[in-house]
Structure 1
Amino acid sequence: MPDTDSEDELPAGWEERVTLDGKVYYANHENQATQWHHPTTGKKKEVKGDLPYGWEKKVSDEGLVFYVDHINKKTTYTDPRLAFAEDVKKNPYDFKQKFDGNSTAMQVVLGKDLTGTYVVVTGANSGIGFETARTLALYGATVILACRNLDSAEKSRQSILQERSQAKVEVMHLDLASLRSVKMFADEYRSKQWPLHLLILNAAVFGLPYTRTEDDLEITFQVNHLSHFYLTKLLWETLVQSQPARVIVLTSESHRFTDLSLDNLSEEKLSPTAGKYSDLKMYNVSKLLNVLFSLHLEKLLGMQGVHSISVHPGNCMNTSLSRYWWLYRIFFFLASPFTKSMQQGAATTVYCSVASELEGVGGMYFNNCCRCEPSKAGCDEDLAQKVWDLSEKMLNDRLQYR
């Protein structure tokens, strides 16, 4: 049976406490005894990481440790991290689900202090990307809004600063339809000598009429996959130097609805000609490429302290993703009462970005803040390797003319 929160309830007369080094123990007030194991479940727990954002640990003149919540102007002798204590895991891939499809990004990040964490979010000026950036910035992270539309990005930045004036938010230009722009963004980022702890590949396009980019690539393929592939490669060393770091790749359940395989993988399949183009089919292919990219990236970077996870934010959410065709706009609008809010849509991204139980693991696919199995093709490591190799070739073919 799965674990439930009710199992963690303490019997009468017991109290949960935490040592200064983060180990949880249990005090029995009836017999004046303490023990490391939960009196009901027998499990051990621990608290990890820094204090929540806005909290400070102090020591009184009598030598007693107490905690100050500067945001709410409160003081307590109880370590606030105790509310977020986790079971000591025997296997790093053991997860106890804490959140679901109704959870919001703000609920997921509660209790975290992201001060000193540097985050790049592509397509962060609206929708899920904005809520992801906003949530992380409000909890102390330095967030870079990597966007094509600088005016819209600046308005988003100002919106966050109005909510919390001390938030650290930067705007940088990034047009994923241009490999030249991707290179300029990476060069500028590296020139600032900032670390990079979270690279969130959020931006995507959907439902476009057939379009070739300046790099002579079908635009959905380039924006949704190849430019993010290129961006990650350019920031590779920065991620490794900043480790532990994570790459979060936004994909979709649509990745299940494509016939892409080892048998038909080709440049024309990934970047089709006009006569073989279907906007929906191309979107589905690009979303499978996202899953496979994340899978192989974990294989290459996981041992260097950089882990990659692919996530599905939600179905048919009323974001700007549908803006390119009036029929899609109507459909997404009509579906919106039955889908997630933007905050709920950002929850899985934020969870996979900050969850301490995911430290040191990657190569997984998450939906509704829960690890799920991707499609059979999405688990195919041979296909992931071939997609990586073909992406390298297609990228290098374009770059050699720069």
Structure 2
Amino acid sequence: MAGTWNVTKIPDQTGKRVVITGSNSGIGYEAARVLADRGAQVILAVRNLDRGNEAARRIRAEVSGAQVEIMPLDLADLDSVQSFADAYQSKWDTLDILINNAGIMAPPHRQTKDGFELQFGTNHLGHFALTGRLINTLLSTPSARIVVVSSAAHNMGTIDFDNLNWADGYRRWRAYGQSKLANLLFAYELQRRLEQIGADVKCIACHPGFAATNLTAAGMGLGKSWLGKGIGGFANVFAQSASMGALPTLYAATEPRLQGGEYIGPTTRGGKNSMRGYPGVVSSNQRSMDQEVAKRLWVVSEELTDVRFTALD
């Protein structure tokens, strides 16, 4: 299914409604632009409305007749997550594709508004809560999809239930790896629960490989000197473009042959995992497949966010 899959393979998306978190730049922006070009109505769920409006202006300038809207969403604030979901559901009763894309990478130790370590709280808990708040709308939409963007960095993560907030001995890259591992555990567990009730919704995980986005430069530079920012920018020189990095997300969101539960990422011509290249089905590590850890993480995430997926019980 992979080969040289690119945006020309995306089916017409006319009539579909898509929410993409963190879509004012980078991979999220590229995915939004392409899906708008294919006819979808795209909602840019962004923390910074000025940047969101600028992203929407750019998409409208590139795509004639683009249907793009901007809605405020701060994944580091569970009240904002609820407000977004309430506002969305007051306007629309369907959601064809939810792309959980936004993230932060390797900042100094900081906390969300609700007191969670910033990466775990934003990358995992914020998206867990958002998906839970929107699950009934997704279930009522024929052939809906949920895309969870993870990272190859899940390989350096473990779920430390005794220190999820990294109050003891914060290590920024290990914390990032934990949040990205949590993304995969959530995606796989969500797919299993959807299958158990026979839902017409698929959940598919993906990762962009090594892509040049402001996540690298901004995340590594957050609260740091010019040296930290420079390292992030230097890394981007060796990365593939944001448009290439967005292909796994677009593949996960639109490829008709996917069944749900797959992990999509760049592949080599032989179909093996890679950090660059065209997208296909790839593999994640054994820790991401641990169903007991996934179930425990699900319960803990419900308790921490006070969001429960009752429709999947």
* TM-score category of the 2 structures, normalised to the smaller one: 0.7 to 0.9
Distance 1:338 1:115 in 2: 36
Query: What is the deviation of 1:356?
Result: 1.2
Query: What is the deviation of 1:141?
Result: 0.2
Deviations along 1:114-140, one digit per CA (max 9) or x if unpaired, are: 001100000000011100101000110
Deviations along 1:84-111, one digit per CA (max 9) or x if unpaired, are: xxxxxxxxxxxx3233xxx65x3442xx
Distance 2:292 2:263 in 1: 17
Considering fraction of residues, name the structure with more strand.
Answer: 1
- Alignment correspondent of 2:252: 352
| Residue 270 of structure 2 corresponds to residue 270 of structure 1 | no
The answer as to whether partners of 1:118 and 1:194 remain within 8 angstroms in 2 is no
| Residue 8 of structure 2 corresponds to residue 98 of structure 1 | no
Total equivalences in the alignment: 288
Higher relative contact order structure (alpha carbons within 8 Å, sequence separation ≥ 6): 2
The answer as to whether partners of 2:216 and 2:233 remain within 8 angstroms in 1 is no
- Alignment correspondent of 1:379: 289
| Residue 102 of structure 2 corresponds to residue 197 of structure 1 | no
- Alignment correspondent of 2:301: 391
Query: What is the deviation of 1:393?
Result: 1.5
Return the letter of the residue paired with 1:97. Answer: A
Identity, in percent, stands at 37
Please list every run of 5 or more consecutive structure 2 residues that lacks an aligned counterpart in the other structure: 267-278, 308-313
Please list every run of 5 or more consecutive structure 1 residues that lacks an aligned counterpart in the other structure: 1-95, 398-402
Distance 2:100 2:130 in 1: 9
Distance 2:236 2:227 in 1: 14
The answer as to whether partners of 2:251 and 2:264 remain within 8 angstroms in 1 is no
Distance 1:201 1:98 in 2: 25
Which one of 220, 223, 232 corresponds to residue 332 of structure 1?
Answer: 232
Which one of 303, 312, 316 corresponds to residue 207 of structure 2?
Answer: 312
The answer as to whether partners of 1:108 and 1:347 remain within 8 angstroms in 2 is no
User: After the TM superposition, which residues 65-144 of structure 1 pair with which residues of structure 2 at under 5 Å, given as runs?
Assistant: 96-99=1-4, 104=6, 106-109=7-10, 112-144=11-43
The answer as to whether partners of 2:158 and 2:177 remain within 8 angstroms in 1 is no
Query: What is the deviation of 1:330?
Result: 2.1
Return the letter of the residue paired with 1:148. Answer: R
Query: What is the deviation of 1:321?
Result: 4.0
SS in 1 for 2:18: strand
Question: Closer, same or farther in 2 for the Cα pair 1:150/1:309, shift >3 Å?
Answer: same
Distance 1:334 1:306 in 2: 40
Greater shift, 207-216 or 342-351, is seen at 207-216
Considering fraction of residues, name the structure with more helix.
Answer: 2
The answer as to whether partners of 1:124 and 1:145 remain within 8 angstroms in 2 is yes
The answer as to whether partners of 1:128 and 1:319 remain within 8 angstroms in 2 is no
Deviations along 1:270-317, one digit per CA (max 9) or x if unpaired, are: 2221x4211111100000000000000001123201111111102253
SS in 1 for 2:140: helix
Distance 1:183 1:258 in 2: 28
- Alignment correspondent of 1:292: 185
Return the letter of the residue paired with 2:136. Answer: E
TM norm structure 2: 0.88
Q: What is the alpha-carbon root mean square deviation over aligned residues?
A: 1.6
| Residue 56 of structure 2 corresponds to residue 157 of structure 1 | yes
Q: Quick check: which has more Rg, 1 or 2?
A: 1
